[in-house]
Amino acid sequence: MFKLAHISDPHLGPLPDPKLLQLFSKRILGYLNWQRNRSKIMGANYLEQLVVDMKSAAPDHIAVTGDLVNIALPLEITGARAWLEEIGEPEDVSVVPGNHDAYVPGAFRKARSAWWPYMCGDNEANLTAAKAREEATFPYVRRRDGVALIGVTTGRASAPWFATGRVGSEQSKRLRQILEDLGREGLFRVVMLHHPPFRQATRWHKRLSDASRVRTVVKRAGAELILHGHTHIDSFEAIEGPNGPVAVVGVPSATSAPGGKKPAARYNLFEIEKTGTGWTCRMEEHGFEEPNTPVRLLVERQVEIPKRSKDFAL
pLDDT for 37? 74
H or E element in which residue 284 lies: strand 279-287
Q: What is the mean pLDDT of residues 137-160?
A: 95
What is each CA distance from 113 to 54, 86, 106, 158, 286, in whole angstroms?
27, 18, 11, 20, 32
Strand order in the sheet with 279-287: 93-95, 61-64, 2-7, 266-274, 279-287, 296-303
Taking CA 45 as the corner, what is the angle to CA 82 and CA 4, rounded to the nearest 5 degrees? 65
- Please, are residues 81 and 97 in contact by the beta-carbon 8 Å criterion? no
How many of the other CB atoms lie within 10 Å of CB of 205? 11
Please say whether the beta carbons of 192 and 8 come within 8 A: no
Confidence category of residue 47, pLDDT binned at 50, 70, 90:
very high
CATH classification code of 2-312: 3.60.21.10
Q: Name which of 285, 59, 95, 111 is nearest 194 in CA terms.
A: 95
Average pLDDT of the chain to the nearest whole number:
91
pTM check: above 0.85: yes
48, 134 Cβ separation under 8 angstroms:
no
Rounded to an integer, the average pLDDT of 283-299 is 93
Residues near 58 by beta carbon (within 8 Å), at least 6 away in sequence? 3
Q: Looking at 11-25, 60-74, 200-214, which range is the least confident one?
A: 11-25
Q: What is the percent of the chain where pLDDT is above 90?
A: 76
CA angle 49, 264, 58 (to 5 degrees): 40
Tell me the average pLDDT across 50-78: 96
Evaluate if residue 156 carries a pLDDT over 50.
yes
- pLDDT score recorded for residue 310: 45
